[in-house]
Structure 1
Amino acid sequence: MRAYAIGDIHGHLDLLKGAHDRIAADQAVHGPAPVIHVGDMVDRGPDSRGVIDWLMQGQADGRDWTVLKGNHDRMFHIYLTAIDARDPGLRAEFSWLHPRIGGAATLASYGVANAGDRPLAPVFDEAVKAVPQTHRDWLERLPGWHRLGEVVFVHAGIRPGVAMEDQTETDLCWIRAPFLDFTGDHGALVVHGHTHLDAPTHYGNRVNIDSGAAYGGPLTAIVIEGREVFHLTEAGRVPLHPKTA
């Protein structure tokens, strides 16, 4: 089994295209294989709409691309369903439009300006009109996880000891503890994002590929051969070995 995966994008279309360029260079040598995006297309960055448009068009063109639902993608979709709707995974002191969450940047990419600084009702009305129904439907249908061979791809992680078919969407989109603390065997190698690091890191039972594009960091792309993992750089493949204690 060979597959590619891309970490949390957060509205950075330029970084997304760059990651796909690195994947295309690797595929030119090794042949085609599926590409899995582990979620968080939107928020914080400058062009969430462009990211969604580009991914939707790629899928429509028949690219072998899977896009998973991240917590930010889910917050965006839930926000558009009702003025008082909120994601149950979001801490009570925050709203999707809070500066730390980044929803206002997403709405700005759809032409809704200064969403975090204006009354909620007109912003919501403008947002519902500005975001195409095709985007809302696409966000709603995004899967929570994807399995290929001995590898499971997910946005945030999984609840240890629970079968994939029984995982909740909230856990798949939001979980940190106890997933990040678990050192046992998940029955598959779990590739995820959600918890940003300075660089992709292999922990033996999981690989975190969120390298902080939301905060000015790079966007990680990896290739997996069986259970071997390689970081894709401008110079080509770099082995990503399990971290030792």
Structure 2
Amino acid sequence: MSEPPKARVVICVGDIHGFITKLQNLWSNLESSIDRSQFETATVIFLGDYCDRGPDTRRVIDFLAALPSRHPRQRHVFLCGNHDLAFAAFLRLLPPPSDGSAFSEGWREYEGSEAREGWFKGEGYEDMHLQGRRWSGNITVKFNTAKGTEYQGSIYDAGPTFESYGVPHGSSDLVKAVPDEHKKFLADLVWVHEEDDVFVNTGDGVKCCKLIAVHAGLVKGADVKEQLKLLKARDTRVPKVEALSGRKSVWDIPEELTASGTIVVSGHHAKLHVEDLRLIIDEGGGYKDKPVAAIILPSMKIIRDTDVLAK
């Protein structure tokens, strides 16, 4: 008989949004909170949205790209968030649509928003994925009433990302300014990650589950296998990927995954929500005054960059 799988440490890190000091402090707190041997062999899943809003996107990607060499026994998974997809789209790093269509065909559904969002019309825009144009555009309405803050350049708040690479928001020079190592990091981001034999503490004891990590979530009511297939293929025919950018539609776990006891973990929603096997880890939401958080499995312990831990 084969031995049952052992409970290993899985760490899921919420949205970072260009805040390098928060990321450094969170990482230090994770190291302090986990047995060293377990930390050095942990699976660390970053839930996406590494760029925009905060001032240090370039340094954040430097930090993340260096982790495999700094911690070679760890396993690192870097999910693509909606902000990262848009950044990659502007840099022309997304795979082309599988049906041979042009990215410009995806503009039509949303063209009613083009004037208000000020879509990018600079060098290379003619066949740019919709989200790249939105990300690098200049929004005409400068105040975000939903958040009570000023937009930072575009609807994605991408201005600080451009500035972290030394170019003004909306400049086509960003393509040259981003180093090749960062382009590779962005090009290699996965849209979904599945992990077997993940242990989690529940009210009914410790359970061994399958885990699905995706930036926003999976659409309830839509076929899960088909969703996973399209996400694994990074299907760029779709101008807006609901699993990376949806809200209410992806909040709940699809019924078939609930029935099978599957963990679904996401960031994106600017909330910390831990209910049964639905884990949403994005306490910061890209706000300067809110923490970046992570969850440790199986303990379900939440660690924040703001935690003051005993040494």
Please confirm whether the aligned pair reaches a TM-score higher than 0.5, indicating the same fold.
Answer: yes
1:180 corresponding residue in structure 2:
251
Counterpart check, 1:140 vs 2:180: no
Give the Å deviation of 1:64.
2.6
Aligned with 2:301: secondary structure? strand
Whichever of the two has the greater Rg, that structure is: 2
- 1:60-115 alpha-carbon deviations (Å, 9 max, x no partner): 3324322111111110010122334554468x9x44344331212101000003x2
Q: Matched residue pairs, number?
A: 222
Task: Describe how 1:90-169 pairs up with structure 2 within 5 A.
Answer: 94-97=134-137, 98=139, 99=152, 100-113=155-168, 115-116=169-170, 123-124=171-172, 126-149=173-196, 150-160=210-220, 161-163=223-225, 165-168=228-231, 169=234
1:218 corresponding residue in structure 2:
291
Give the Å deviation of 1:43.
0.6
**Aligned-partner Cα distance in 1 for 2:135–2:59:** 23
Identity of aligned residues (%): 28
- 1:201-227 alpha-carbon deviations (Å, 9 max, x no partner): 1132411111124112110111011xx
Aligned with 2:183: secondary structure? helix
Q: Runs of 5+ in structure 1 lacking a partner? A: 117-122, 237-245
The code of the aligned residue for 2:187 comes to E
**Aligned-partner Cα distance in 2 for 1:106–1:212:** 17
- TM-score normalised per structure 1: 0.80
- 1:91-149 alpha-carbon deviations (Å, 9 max, x no partner): x9x44344331212101000003x25xxxxxx11x111101122112201111122223
**Aligned-partner Cα distance in 2 for 1:45–1:86:** 25
2:276 corresponding residue in structure 1:
204
Runs of 4+ in 1 over 4 A off after TM superposition: 84-90
8 Å Cα contact 2:281/2:293 also seen in 1: yes
Counterpart check, 1:190 vs 2:264: yes
**Aligned-partner Cα distance in 2 for 1:105–1:66:** 25
RMSD over aligned Cα, in angstroms? 2.5
1:83 corresponding residue in structure 2:
125
Q: Runs of 5+ in structure 2 lacking a partner? A: 1-6, 93-123, 140-151, 197-209, 235-240
Give the Å deviation of 1:50.
0.3
